[in-house]
Structure 1
Amino acid sequence: MEDVDNLFNPSLAAALKKLDPEDGEQIMEYFKTHALLSREKALLQASVREQKKLLVENAKLKNDIEHLRAQLQDKQKRRTAKTLLSQATPPHSLSPAPNKPASQPASPLGATAVVPVPPLPPSGSSHGGRERQSRRRRGERKAGSTSDPLALGAETQIDVSRLDLRVGRILSVRLHPLSETMSVQEVDMGEDSPRTVVSRLGGKSDLEELQDSLAVVLCNVKPTKMKGVASQARLLCCATSDDHIEVLVPPAGSAPGDRITFLNYPGEPDRELPSKLKIWELLQSDLQVDSKGVATYKGCGFEVKGKGLCRAPSLINCAIR
């Protein structure tokens, strides 16, 4: 800034004209232009550095948020399991009182009433039997605390809110190198890099039309290899009984990474669906395209908040897979 201001000094301009009467004015203009360009370059470099710093900070904040969200989900599951255990576990029965000799009340006629007394166990067996019963009770409580709550909690929470459904853009489509019935898509999910998705669309004749189109993608499935190609997500399609297949379409204005939610089923999805529970298989029977072509779970539509509902391009009353 100081150098530029010095160039506009009238005495400096006069000195240049005196030294070179013909080109002094042009030299002066050249110096001014060069100084202004240098200043703009310095400002631009400072802006770029600041932008890079903000990007790094945003990435760190995003990782922190994901970590905190995972911790919150774990706490919610443990709290639910603890509540279900307290509701499901019956109160412990009272241990029977040790046998005491019963008093024999006198009969009205003076005869002695005979009260049956159970036979005493052999000497040394009573204490051992109580120990075995106590160990069995402790074993039952221990088994219930380690398995039942989690199983009950998982069963009560199996609904569509556990699926991480998002909008993706199909960047490229190609046939699977080892299967004529499969295809391989590269899908932009709004993340740092696209995901590879293997789907059973190899028999479709219009695969090239899927390129650059939007789709509904299940993102929290465990990555698996399908005939040698690792699939990192699942492309949601609808199909009729005669195997006519269409890819579900998000509403207009959707962008890669947009969450798909359900009004009647709020909640955060799992980070990764547990393979042992087969949650996707349990939910799939309730995923349908209705008579209006809207993708639904138990009648509740697939919704991109503020943008609309997900639909099938032309099919109605068919299953989603």
Structure 2
Amino acid sequence: MFIQTFVRKMSHNITSKLVNNADKAEKRLSELKSKLEQVKKFKVEEKIKELTQENETLLKKVEEAKLQLIKLETLNGKVQYPLPGKTTPVANNLNTPILEQPDVVKQTPAVKKEKKEKETAKKPKEKAAPTSTDIIDIRKLDLRIGKIIDVGKHPDADTLYVEKIDCGEENPRTVVSGLVNHVPIDEMRERIVMVLCNLKPVKMRGVTSEAMVMCASSPEKVEVLIPPNGAVPGDLVSCEGYPREPEPQLNPKKKIFETCAPDLKTNDDCVACYKDSALVVPGKGPVKAPTLKGVNVK
């Protein structure tokens, strides 16, 4: 009897502990689930915040890139038109005008044309005087004295020299000349020459040429022009009657040198001339060819 009572009591105690432990475990599990949800929520919010900041940064970079593009296009002469219903931020950031689209067309092309014809009939046409920018002659050529400080044969062309020429600038210019068959390399070294300095740089068999050595040329012979005694690198070459107004760089489309070339010749005294006016280094003398007379200078 005592044993049965003891067993029942022990069984009851064990059952109570198991129930109690189960309750504790369930409570603990509930707490862990709650904390897990909080962590998940925190991580999601943190990621959303991170992505939002990243998007704002990217949008800012896109706007900056747009402004930079508009600025570059405007500097290159491309007119900017704002989209209807949108304002453009360019005016606040750039000192460049933005043309606004007109809301109303005030005159039709036909009316404008008729008005223009009437004005033309009333006023005789006046021929505009050419400005210095319209004139194409030797004044646009930047001719200077240079000194060949280094010369060698072109690595990929047997008839070309590659020279380094001191033109009185911070760095020497690289010049490619087709003179191998006309002038021995020893005669090219340390030579004083006349150089055309404002040609557009052009690659010749892979080497960029930044100027041109001027020569007297006939079908049979080519001679490098000789500057006057005392001429030094950087001296400017002038032509009487044509004040120097050299372009920073000749525009190939205008064909300025090609227009001048037929009138660049040596005279009977072997002096290089443009339309019979001598090419000279002021105060030092004319530029001459060694022997060639009445031939083109190029």
TM-score by length of 2: 0.57
In 2 relative to 1, CA 205–285 (structure 1 residues): closer, same or farther, beyond 3 Å?
Answer: closer
Query: 1:207 maps to which residue?
Result: 185
Give the whole-Å Cα distance in 1 for the aligned partners of 2:198 and 2:157.
25
* Deviation (angstroms), 1:212: 0.5
Give the whole-Å Cα distance in 2 for the aligned partners of 1:191 and 1:131.
54
* Deviation (angstroms), 1:192: 1.0
Contact 2:215 2:297 in 1 (8 A): yes
Query: 1:181 maps to which residue?
Result: 159
Alignment match of 1:219 (pick from 197, 200, 206): 197
Query: What letter corresponds to residue 246 of structure 2 in structure 1?
Result: P
* Deviation (angstroms), 1:177: 1.3
Calculate the aligned-residue CA RMSD, in Å.
2.8
Query: 2:81 maps to which residue?
Result: none
Give the whole-Å Cα distance in 1 for the aligned partners of 2:223 and 2:183.
12
* Deviation (angstroms), 1:193: 1.1
Give the whole-Å Cα distance in 1 for the aligned partners of 2:260 and 2:144.
17
Structure 1 residue runs of 4+, over 6 Å off?
none
3-state DSSP class of the match of 2:187? Answer: helix
* Deviation (angstroms), 1:256: 0.2
* Deviation (angstroms), 1:292: 0.5
* Deviation (angstroms), 1:153: 4.7
* Deviation (angstroms), 1:199: 1.2
Is residue 212 of structure 2 the alignment partner of residue 234 of structure 1?
yes
Query: 2:238 maps to which residue?
Result: 261
Is residue 278 of structure 2 the alignment partner of residue 301 of structure 1?
yes
3-state DSSP class of the match of 2:237? Answer: coil
* Deviation (angstroms), 1:156: 4.5
3-state DSSP class of the match of 1:268? Answer: coil
Query: 2:269 maps to which residue?
Result: 292
The superposition leaves residues 156-205 of structure 1 with CA deviations (integer Å, 9 ceiling, x where unpaired) of 41110110100000112211111122111110111111100011112135
Query: What letter corresponds to residue 215 of structure 1 in structure 2?
Result: V
Contact 1:173 1:208 in 2 (8 A): no
The superposition leaves residues 83-125 of structure 1 with CA deviations (integer Å, 9 ceiling, x where unpaired) of xxxxxxxxxxxxxxxxxxxxxxxxxxxxxxxxxxxxxxxxxxx
Give the whole-Å Cα distance in 1 for the aligned partners of 2:180 and 2:114.
57
Alignment match of 1:158 (pick from 111, 136, 139): 136
In 2 relative to 1, CA 198–295 (structure 1 residues): closer, same or farther, beyond 3 Å?
Answer: same
3-state DSSP class of the match of 2:171? Answer: coil
In 2 relative to 1, CA 258–133 (structure 1 residues): closer, same or farther, beyond 3 Å?
Answer: same
Contact 1:180 1:203 in 2 (8 A): no
Question: Percent sequence identity over matched residues?
Answer: 37
In 2 relative to 1, CA 136–251 (structure 1 residues): closer, same or farther, beyond 3 Å?
Answer: farther
Contact 2:270 2:288 in 1 (8 A): yes
3-state DSSP class of the match of 2:239? Answer: coil
Query: 1:245 maps to which residue?
Result: 222
Alignment match of 2:172 (pick from 183, 189, 194): 194
Query: What letter corresponds to residue 229 of structure 1 in structure 2?
Result: V
TM-score by length of 1: 0.53
Query: 1:18 maps to which residue?
Result: none
In 2 relative to 1, CA 205–279 (structure 1 residues): closer, same or farther, beyond 3 Å?
Answer: closer
Query: 1:320 maps to which residue?
Result: 297
3-state DSSP class of the match of 1:196? Answer: strand
Gaps of 5+ in 2: 1-105, 120-126
Gaps of 5+ in 1: 1-127, 142-148
In 2 relative to 1, CA 227–294 (structure 1 residues): closer, same or farther, beyond 3 Å?
Answer: same
The superposition leaves residues 51-101 of structure 1 with CA deviations (integer Å, 9 ceiling, x where unpaired) of xxxxxxxxxxxxxxxxxxxxxxxxxxxxxxxxxxxxxxxxxxxxxxxxxxx
3-state DSSP class of the match of 1:181? Answer: coil
Structure showing greater radius of gyration is: 2
Q: Aligned residues, how many?
A: 185
